[in-house]
Every structure is written in structure tokens, then in C-alpha cells.
Structure 1
Amino acid sequence: MSARVLVLLLAPTVRATRWGAFLAAAGVGLAIVVVPAATTTMLTAEDLVALLRVAAVCGALGAGFLLDDPAARSTAPMPTPRPVRHAARAGVILPAVAVWWALVLGVTVAGAEEGIGATLPIGGVTAEAAALGAVALMVAAVRLRGSRAAGVRADGGVAAFPALLVLVMAATVLPRGLALFVSPDSPEWTGAHGRWVVLLAVALAGSFWASVEPTRPLRTPFR
């Protein structure tokens, strides 16, 4: 029954999702790679990876707003379990973000100098982008869970935005053994992306926890 309900929820979820902030941020991220690709500027693989990272940050910042739902308090009493509602929203958000990222990668590779596009570490940069997006969604989901449990309205994107910026700034000053942003030709590349995968797993676990309906202690007149 949950699977059938999930499918039925997809179309209303698309209409209810607030796409504006994501589309604006995604548009900026796409422009960051389109402009160099459309010019004759000579960029190295390291330059292109840097542009992809900036685009990934833009997309993640916008993705944090996709969980915001002004009607969340009114839909809380619905018989549809909260994990199913969250799964429906994930089923809408993830394909949209994936299509955008595929477009960003396609433009970057197509606009790269001959021989450079084929050497770009697409898998590693995609892991970074996935982890950044997952962190943004986790922070937003945790913020929304706490606000709904307290009976107040809050915007998850407003919490995710500064949290992600802090993460990115901290990642740029980490010592070598903990570095996240490293050069493609650095010997630390594999180790850094192992840390990105761990960060992605933690963010996914946090999002799963935030999707579970918070339990409230039962109050009785004898307590």
C-alpha cells in the first residue's frame, strides 16, 4: 500500500515543492561552467574541477530549500506515514538534481580542451557534489523535524544555507591529513574522497533519522 501511495504522491509533491531558490542557485552554478565553455579561455583540469566544485556548492545551497513545505503542519495529521511523504519528496528532488548535475558535467566536458575532458575525475567530483547536497538536505530535514515537533513553522533552507557555507569554508583550511578539497593530481585524492564518502553516508543517515516521525511521551492525568 505504501508503494502505491508513494506513486500517487509524486505529482502533488512536484506541484507543492518550492523550486524557485533551487532553480536560481542551479542557474548560477550552470552559468559558472557555461561561460568558460563558450569562450576560448584555456583551462586546465584543475581549473575545471574548481569550477565544478563551485557549481556543486551552488546546487547544494539551492537544494536545501527543496524540503520547505508551507503546508507541513496541516499535513502532519494525514494517515500517510511521514517516511512515505519524505520518500515522495526525495523521488522528486533527486532526479531533478541529478539531471541538473549531468547537464553541468556535460557542458564542462564538451567545452574542455581536447584531451582534457576525458581526464577529468568526474566520479570524484560527483561524490563531492553528492555529499554537499546530502549535507544540505540533512540540515534542512533536521531543522524541519525540530520545528514540527515544537509546533512552529521554520524554513529548512534558511538553516542549511549557512551550515553548508561553514562546511565549505572549513573544508578549505583542513590540514593535509583531513583535507577534502584536493587537486586532481594530488596523492591525497583517493583518501580525500574516502572522507567525502563517509560524509555522504553520515548525511544520508541523518536524513533518514529526520524522516522518522518524532515520538512524544504519553501524558496521563496520573503523571
Structure 2
Amino acid sequence: MRTAAATLLRPIVRTMPWRAITAAGALGLLLAAAPRLTGDDADARLALNALRASAVAFALGAAFVLDDPARHTTAAVPTRRAVRHGLRVLLVVPVTAVWWTAALLLVPGPVRPPAAGITLEAATVLALALTGAALAVHRGDRARPGQAVAGSLLVGSVLGPLLIPGSWALFTTPDDVRWAAAHDRWAVLLCAAVVVGAACATEPRRRLTLRGFRGLRSPSGTSGPSRT
């Protein structure tokens, strides 16, 4: 398995959507720097919203991570889909860690939201993007589902705060008494996204066709009924 993964690593690195990730990361850093650009007028709410927007921007680029122009070719190799997808995710993890650290440091310390809470939100949004891509690959045959996944994520990010009931609020502020409870929900959502993403990394089951049923034989050796 290690040899197969090492063999796949180089072509996977070449086919990774680095341009999309770089563009999304650059946009995210610009958004994170917005409070610093306002000088003394920066406040905690602006910093919080800037980091949330920054996390969504990077996740839009991450939605393209599983785009593979050679998907229908690599599907025939003996290496399982979980390994191929896992390598792509592992390649983007250190990039994400460095990028998010830079985004946090761009926000002035006095108005920076609690790092643990906002990092949990960013990790969940990223996990949702990757899970959406994995689900699109698992359920469909498109080699480049990233654009549709990114569009869905963007729509969900805009409509989510409007549609979620107040009792299940996710987008709270640090001075809100619901901050801790909201991040418990973020943690549950993150776990759910990881579980679904892992399930989508498995090979799809082959569906029996009508032709397959025609070829079935009974225990006595006779063929099953066929339609005339």
C-alpha cells in the first residue's frame, strides 16, 4: 500500500488544483486583513466576520481538491479511492494550517476572536467543502465537481445564517451567552462531515443490471426466466 501511495503521489501533486487553492487563499488573506486596514476603527465584530469570510473563501478553493481530469483512468488502478482521496487531502492540510495561522495573525490582537472557537468554525467549513466534493464524486461520474460544490457552499454560507433557527444558532459572537453552545454544535457538525466524507471515500457498490439478472442460474443449473 505504501509503494502504491508513493507511486501515486507525484501525479497527484501535478493534478492538484493549486491555482484555485492559491487564489482562494489570497482572497482569504485579504479578507482577514480588512480589520487591520481600518486602523483604529477596527472592532471585534468586524474581525470575527472577516475571519469567517476568510474561512469560507479558502473552503471555496478546497472544494476543487478532488477534481481529477484523469478520474476515469485512475479508477481502474488497484489503489483504492480512499487512498487517492486521502493523499489529496493530506497534501492540502499543511497548506491550510500555514494559511490559517497567517490569517489569524493578520487580525489585530485586541480585536481577534478566540482562536479555538473560530478555528473550529474554519475547520468545519473546510470539512464540509471536502465532504461535498467526496459526495459528488461518490454519487456521480463528473471528473470536476468542484465548481458545483463551491457554488453550493457559497449559497449555504449566505443562506445558512438566515435559515437556521435562533435556538440552533451557529454564528454567534464571543460576548454572546450562546457562544459555547454554538461551538458544541460546530463540533458535532465537524464530526458528522468527517464521517460522511470517510464513507464517501469508499468504492461504490456495483449495481446489478437487468442483463445481470438474466444471466443468473438456479441451483439446478437451469437459467432463470427471461423476457421475450
TM-score computed with the length of structure 1 as normaliser: 0.87
User: Which residue number corresponds to residue 148 of structure 2?
Assistant: 159
| Counterpart mapping for 1:57-72 below 5 A | 57-72=56-71
Residues 13-61 of structure 1 deviation map (CA, whole Å, 9 limit, x = unaligned): 2211011222112111111123442552421222211110010110111
5+ residue gaps in structure 2? 217-223
Alignment of structure 1 residues 9-48 onto 2, 5 Å: 9-38=8-37, 40-48=39-47
Q: Which has the larger radius of gyration?
A: 2
Consecutive unaligned residues in structure 1, runs of 5 or more: none
- Root-mean-square deviation over aligned CA pairs: 1.9
Does residue 142 in structure 1 map to residue 135 in structure 2?
yes
8 Å CA contact 1:13–1:92 kept in 2: the answer is: no
Secondary structure in 2 matching 1:172 = helix
For 1:202, the equivalent position in structure 2 comes to 192
Alpha-carbon distance in 1 for matches of 2:31, 2:181: 27
Q: What is the aligned residue count?
A: 212
Partner of 2:118: 125
Name the SS for the 1:66 alignment partner: coil
CA contact (8 A) 2:68 2:143 kept: no
Question: What amino acid does structure 2 have at the position aligned with 1:158?
Answer: Q
TM-score computed with the length of structure 2 as normaliser:
0.85
Moved more, 205-214 or 32-41: 32-41
* Residue in 2 that maps onto 1:184: 174
Deviation at 1:172? 1.3
User: What is the aligned counterpart of 1:170 among 155, 159, 183?
Assistant: 159
Do the aligned partners of 1:33 and 1:55 also contact (CA within 8 Å) in 2?
Answer: yes
3-state SS of the aligned residue for 2:173? coil
